[in-house]
Amino acid sequence: MDYFLDSVEKAGMRTVELWGGAPHFYMDALSYTDCTSVRRKAAARGLTIGAFTPESIIYPYNIAAPDPEQFAKSKSYFTNAVKATSELGCKLMTVNSGYGYLNETKEEAWARSADMLSHLARTAEQEGVVIAMEALRPEESQIVTTLADAKRMLDEIASPAFRLMVDTTAMGIAGETLEQWFDAAGESIVHLHFIDGNPYGHLAWGDGTFPLASMIQTLNDYGYQGLLGQEITDFRYYEHPDETDRRIMEAFEKYIGKD
């Protein structure tokens, strides 16, 4: 945790999206890391925790878990995540739809996902937190992988504490654009995983083919006021993540206002 916070501070970032995974932030169905300590570490470096992203792809916790016992423990885990978000002094938690068996219908998996997300939205309302759901790649899930799926889930959950986020990798793989997302979802979009890609990759800006300048112009055109989460997951960055953060900030510098 100290290495991460030191690195983003040196890179010039002032807000972080904290990924809730060990070893830096441990969480399970029963407990989670002392959030007060994490808040103090961030504040000591002049950093704000703008979003909390509990680990939600790697086994065993799954929003749409098909086994009843796994589903129950996943519900406890993600409920803890909502509470941790609040205790971190953060107002935004990001999630996805989860995933089901490949040999079951989409609707079977969808029902479990909607059940879990409805519960989490009600918990978020009580905790003063907003949940933002992203689409996944088809290799990761058969539930929410497109803008149409995301809109359907948004309408089904129908909670002021449940909103959408755009993941530019999933968006690119689906053949969609930022304009389409904002035209369809508008003010319901409260967060972005704004990363480069081919469209696959979750890459640092400059390592993919996405047009950064025109995409930022689109965000300005639609009056987007949220954060640009840098969800960089490609293995090439694992050895020197601090250098990658600095390079990302250099790519953004020309677009950052100085007033």
**CA 83/CA 76 separation, integer angstroms:** 11
Provide the residue-wise pLDDT of the chain in tens; the chain has 259 residues: 999 999 999 999 999 999 999 999 999 999 999 999 999 999 999 999 999 999 998 889 999 999 999 999 999 999 999 999 999 999 999 999 999 999 999 999 999 999 999 999 999 999 999 999 999 999 999 999 999 999 999 999 999 999 999 999 999 999 999 999 999 999 999 999 999 999 999 999 999 999 999 999 999 999 999 999 999 999 999 999 999 999 999 999 999 876 5
pLDDT digits (tens, 9 = 90+) for 2-34: 999 999 999 999 999 999 999 999 999 999 999
pTM: 0.95
Closest alpha carbon to 56 in 139, 121, 136 = 136
**CA 167/CA 191 separation, integer angstroms:** 9
Instruction: Please count the CA atoms within 13 angstroms of the CA of 32 that sit on its side-chain side.
Output: 26
**CA 113/CA 78 separation, integer angstroms:** 12
C-alpha to C-alpha distances, 226 to 14, 102, 132, nearest whole angstrom: 14, 34, 11
* Backbone torsions φ then ψ of 167, nearest 5 degrees: -105, 115
Question: How many CB atoms lie under 10 A from the CB of residue 236?
Answer: 12
- Looking at the DSSP assignment, which residues form a beta bridge with residue 49? 16
Question: Do 131 and 93 form a contact (C-beta atoms < 8 A)?
Answer: yes
Question: Is residue 60 reached through a cis peptide bond, with omega within 30 degrees of 0 on the bond before it?
Answer: yes
